Amino acid sequence: MIDYNPKAWFTFIFRFHKADTVRKLIPMFIALSAYSALIAFLELELLHLSPNSDLKQVTLVHSLLGFVISLLLVFRTNSAYDRWWEGRKLWGSLVNNSRNLALKLNAILPASNTASREYFRMMIGNYPFSLKNHLRNKYIPEEFQQAERMQLQPEKHVPNQIAAQIMVHVHELYRQGQISGEQLLSLNPELLSFTDICGACERIKNTPIPFSYSIFIKKFIFFFVMTLPIGYVFTLHYLIIPVVVFVFYVLASLELIAEEIEDPFGFDANDLPTDTISGNIRKHVAEIL
């Protein structure tokens, strides 16, 4: 995720970064410029069409469709941002629940039980790293503390394995009499929340916007932009070239931004800072325990 000062907005105008939509759309800019120039040449120079031509009535259609496409893109952007923000809230819940679990264990476990304290410090801190990599379809054992003790199977669901080991250790302490039944019940919400958060993140990642809806928006933008020069060339003449490119830049950029943030757990510049959050969880749990 990009860190920036939201108040220094003027500098954003002249700032380019690797995720900027301009870089991705440059080939289309060139193609649209050539297409618009060709349409302008055909209508103005070769066919000598008059401004009163029936083709000019295409502008009326664009006036009507412009409102429709704006509504579609607003809905598309809002739905993508909702997914991004829900993902951020889930990771915020993971931060709070990890701290709460560590605080409860710190209060319950005797100071002399250093082995269990060390175990929970390690396992609670390892869980966010397993979830982060699971959502990226990766397995990086180097990020785990004492990975050899966990005996994980990478081909299986790694976050579930770590959550299960934490649960088993807690119940083992209960059977040994080091945790009472009331204390076990108080720990249960935080223990279950790990799997709940993981499942909610998987739902966001594995359920993209419906295919038909995504294809329809892209086709709508394409045909809207491709028909712009046909009617507006009589008013703008060869200025239609930069106008078409700019209109396409605005519409396509909104769609590209929505595509990027609807899966907020990857490596894109605007994705959630899950690496930083995972590191903070490990740090704070270690401080508590």
pLDDT at 102: 95
137, 114 Cβ separation under 8 angstroms: no
Burial class (CB in 10 A: 0-12, 13-18, 19+), 153: exposed
Stretch 85-114: mean pLDDT: 94
Please write down the HEC assignment for all residues of 82-136.
Answer: HHHHHHHHHHHHHHHHHHHHHHHHHHHCCCCCHHHHHHHHHHHHHHHHHHHHHHC
Torsion angle of C-alpha atoms 68, 70, 74, 77, degrees rounded to 10: 110
Lowest mean pLDDT among 52-56, 58-62, 92-96, 207-211: 52-56
pLDDT at 54: 59
Please, which pLDDT band fits residue 270 given cuts at 50, 70 and 90?
confident
Please, which pLDDT band fits residue 46 given cuts at 50, 70 and 90?
confident
Range list of H helices, the chain: 21-40, 58-108, 114-135, 147-150, 158-175, 181-206, 211-226, 228-236, 240-261, 274-288
Tens digits of residue pLDDT in 208-257: 888 888 888 889 898 889 888 887 887 888 898 999 999 999 899 888 88
Is pTM beyond 0.85? Reply is no
pLDDT at 235: 80
Lowest mean pLDDT among 75-79, 103-107, 143-147: 143-147
pLDDT at 145: 87
Please, which pLDDT band fits residue 55 given cuts at 50, 70 and 90?
low
94, 125 Cβ separation under 8 angstroms: no
pLDDT at 236: 81
Q: How far apart (Å, rounded) are the C-alpha atoms in residues 163 and 94?
A: 13
Taking CA atoms, 227 is separated from 62, 144, 218, in Å, by 9, 55, 14
Q: How far apart (Å, rounded) are the C-alpha atoms in residues 240 and 60?
A: 17
Q: How far apart (Å, rounded) are the C-alpha atoms in residues 171 and 169?
A: 5
Stretch 39-56: mean pLDDT: 70
Q: Quote the longest CA-to-CA distance of the chain.
A: 94
Residue 17 has pLDDT above 60, yes or no: no
Torsion angle of C-alpha atoms 250, 252, 258, 263, degrees rounded to 10: -140
Domain chopping of the chain, boundaries: 22-47+59-83+209-261, 91-207+274-288
Q: How far apart (Å, rounded) are the C-alpha atoms in residues 63 and 59?
A: 6
pLDDT at 15: 60
Question: Letter for the amino acid at 47?
Answer: L
Q: How far apart (Å, rounded) are the C-alpha atoms in residues 73 and 251?
A: 8
Tens digits of residue pLDDT in 130-180: 999 999 999 988 998 887 678 889 899 999 999 999 999 999 999 998 999
% of the chain beyond a pLDDT of 90: 48
In this structure, the number of other CB atoms found within 10 A of the CB of residue 206 comes to 9
Torsion angle of C-alpha atoms 207, 270, 157, 200, degrees rounded to 10: -50
- Phi, psi (rounded to 5 degrees) for 47: -90, -15
Q: How far apart (Å, rounded) are the C-alpha atoms in residues 89 and 93?
A: 6
